[in-house]
Chains A and B, each alone.
Chain A
Amino acid sequence: MPSGDRRDGPDRLDRVRGAFAGLAAGDAAGWPAARHRSTLLAGWSRRLRRELDAFAEEHQVTTLPVPFALNQPVAPLAAGPSDDAEWLAWTALTIGEDRAEAFGRLAGRDDVRARISVWAALDNLAAGKRPPASGHDNPHHFDDAAAVRAVAFGAAGLDPLEDARVTNAEDGVLGAVAMARAVAALTDGAPMGDAVEAALGALPPDTAIGHAAREALAAARAAGSPFASVPALDAAVLDHVYSYGVAAAQTVPIALALADVAVSAATPGAGEFGGEEFGAEAFGAGVSAAACLAPVADSAPALAGALLGCAAGYDALPAAWRERVRTLAGCCLPELAGADLLDIAGRLA
């Protein structure tokens, strides 16, 4: 797609905002968002939910408990951004700082909620281990915490490597580099196909993430649309063996594949690329499909949303989502409660 087609498309600020709002909308769309946001309620209300889970198991009840408010404010349980949006915002706000120092300030705090890779890295930093050991000596070095943060680096046109190595290694770092490259390309106005190619270039085929990315793209392209891709991606990428669904080797390939197929399914003719209608359609289809993959619904929709939101631009996103994802909840980083994600994104453009 010649870049000249994008003259009337979104400008850089709009694309950066689109990446942030898109990530937050995907974050909100996945079922784990309410779990994360429920941490704003009293601990006993979450204990009751865990007990209801045990009750359902014990009594063979298929009416499964969901996060609920009992004598608690209901606002935290409304659809809205959760962990990934907050960690992206934190990254944008600290992006000019030495990464080990920025993370070091979080070590020792008892009010932070973070992925296993981040907690392990904070413990490592507190024990005197510096990057890259802080990210390498880490049971979840492979997760996508750094890939989420890399959206900020891509939007700012910066290298995510130093940041990624604080909390991750190997596939976890490769996933961050791939996401940053794709977002950087999209922020510059490149078409999605080029952004996906740029990401693939960071993922060697003999790694799990590189192999999965190519398998996922082939599966999604063969399926032809995001929703049609859901069973194919489940088969191609997810093995359903491990207890946590945030491996970068799964979520980043799924996000790339769904972003790719969402755009190509929404733009049958090259000349139609870049319109607002395309953007909203591709964005909704790609994010929704990612949210259908339950094991990876914590972050695959967020990563897909970042790519598709960046391509479409903030103004093209559905108005209801644009408003709903602006205000952060503070469910992982309490100091971000009430912060305006759009304002934070704007500082990077």
Chain B
Amino acid sequence: MTSVRDRARGCLLGLAAGDALGAPAENLAPEEIAARWGVLTEIERGGTDDTEYTIFAATVLLRHGHALTSEDVARAWREEIVARLDGPMRGAGFSELGTVEALRRGLRPPLTGRWHAHGWSDGLAMRAAPYGIFAAGDPDEAARLAETDGRVSHTGEGIFGGRAVAAAVAVAMTGASPAEVAAAALRAVPEDSWTARSLRAALDVAARTPRPLLGRTLHDAVVMAHYPWTDLAPEAVALAFAAYTAGGGEVEASVVIAANLGRDADTTAAVAGALAGAGRGEAAVPARWAERIGPVAGRCLPVVAGRDVRDVADEIVKGM
């Protein structure tokens, strides 16, 4: 029987491994990735914003637990992100800098998440896994906590993406099948939403498409043709869940499929890794990947420098 601590560690190690594996494939098309690597399976460099923002979200969550409010999260952003910025903001997306600018303007949530144009980004989905660990077995509570966080930086579909990931991790933490985990994600978002439509389309493609055609078919189904940025939550979350179900919930297969789909590959592989790692536990994360995951550098968020996802996972479990 896999313990909760095993699953928590598997979740965050899977997330960090996906983040690191996918990083060099970010913004590439599946065909470009195939031309460069054949199949990208080995971690080439360290993780990015996905891991560091996940650690930050977990830290704020542990201070407040189920009583977490959006104002708590906004205060943490003001004091620990905005106040420490004295130059460029590294490694984050538009939604993060947009939120920082909204906070600097004196706005409060939920307006901070509405003020900038990237409220639909996958920036909440990428950091939502800790809510699923913390509320293991309770997808509604996991989604509620993710939304509480998300109101600071996101709106609409960006919040739905975070709800979907948090709820799905909460169910994966029980050892449920990939199909049950994906169903939990769909239940956490309105049926009449872009995220739900995109998820349904991607899961359908994943279920019926042979692996060699998966990348192109998924792109045709859920990727916006006339938009240059890749961090749309409805798109990234759909690609991540498609990779996770196509990989049968296995950590290595899920993460490798996600990373090789390109687009926001670090985030999609991180989400796929979080789902699969929660389902299969720490030992299921390939050892050659796990040994590449050490304390984070704090390149994106200096406040989390030196933290190790294993310790963070243990702290969440202790705080449950």
Q: A interface vs B, CB < 8 Å?
A: 116, 119-120, 123, 129, 133, 136-137, 139-140, 142, 170, 206-208, 211, 239-244, 247, 249
Contact = CB atoms under 8 A, between A and B. Distances in A.
A208 B98 contact: no
7 contacts: A140-B227, A170-B156, A206-B114, A208-B115, A239-B98, A243-B229, A247-B117
B97 interface: yes
Contacts of B97: 241
A160 B308 CA distance: 53
Contacts of A240: 101
The 4 closest A-B pairs by CB, nearest first: A119-B226, A137-B194, A239-B101, A242-B117
Given A239-B102, A242-B116, A139 B111 contact: no
A244 B226 CA distance: 14
A133 B225 CA distance: 16
Given A120-B226, A133-B197, 6 more contacts: A133-B192, A139-B120, A206-B114, A208-B114, A211-B111, A211-B115
Contacts of A249: 115, 117
Contacts of A133: 192, 194, 197
Interface string B198-229: 10000000000000000000000000111101
A344 B225 CA distance: 33
Contacts of A139: 120, 224, 227, 229, 232
A116 B227 contact: yes
A243 B117 CA distance: 10
A123 B220 CA distance: 11
B94 interface: yes
A116 to B, nearest CB: 6
Interface string B163-182: 00000000000000000000
B234 interface: yes
Contacts of B229: 139, 243
Contact of B111 (A116, A142, A170, A208): A208
Contacts of A140: 227
Interface residues of B, number: 27
A174 B146 CA distance: 27
A241 B98 contact: yes
A140 B94 CA distance: 14
A208 B105 CA distance: 13
Nearest to A240: B101
B116 A207 contact: no
B118 interface: yes
A247 B94 CA distance: 14
Contacts of B234: 137
B111 A206 contact: yes
Contacts of B114: 206-208
B111 A136 contact: no
Nearest to B232: A139
A140 B117 CA distance: 8
Contacts of A136: 194
Given A137-B197, A137-B198, A170-B156, A241 B101 contact: yes
Interface in B98-135: 98, 101-102, 105, 107, 110-111, 114-118, 120
Contact of B94 (A116, A207, A242): A242
B156 to A, nearest CB: 7
Contacts of A129: 197
A123 B101 contact: no
Interface in B67-104: 94, 97-98, 101-102
A208 B156 CA distance: 13
Nearest to B222: A137
A133 B191 CA distance: 12
A206 B156 CA distance: 14
Contacts of B198: 137
A52 to B, nearest CB: 22
A241 B116 contact: yes
A247 B120 CA distance: 14
B160 to A, nearest CB: 12
Contacts of A142: 117
Of A129, A142, A206, which is in contact with the most chain B CB atoms at under 10 Å from its CB?
A142
B129 to A, nearest CB: 24
Contacts of A208: 111, 114-116
A142 B115 CA distance: 11
A140 B194 CA distance: 13
A160 B232 CA distance: 27
Interface in B239-271: none
A47 B225 CA distance: 22
Contacts of A120: 224, 226-227
Nearest to B89: A241
A241 to B, nearest CB: 5
A244 to B, nearest CB: 8
A240 B100 CA distance: 12
Contacts of B194: 133, 136-137
Contacts of A119: 225-226
Contact of A123 (B102, B192, B225): B225
Interface string B25-41: 00000000000000000
Contacts of B192: 133
A110 to B, nearest CB: 12
Contacts of B197: 129, 133, 137
Contacts of B98: 239, 241-242
Contacts of B227: 116, 120, 139-140
A290 B148 CA distance: 38
Contacts of B105: 239
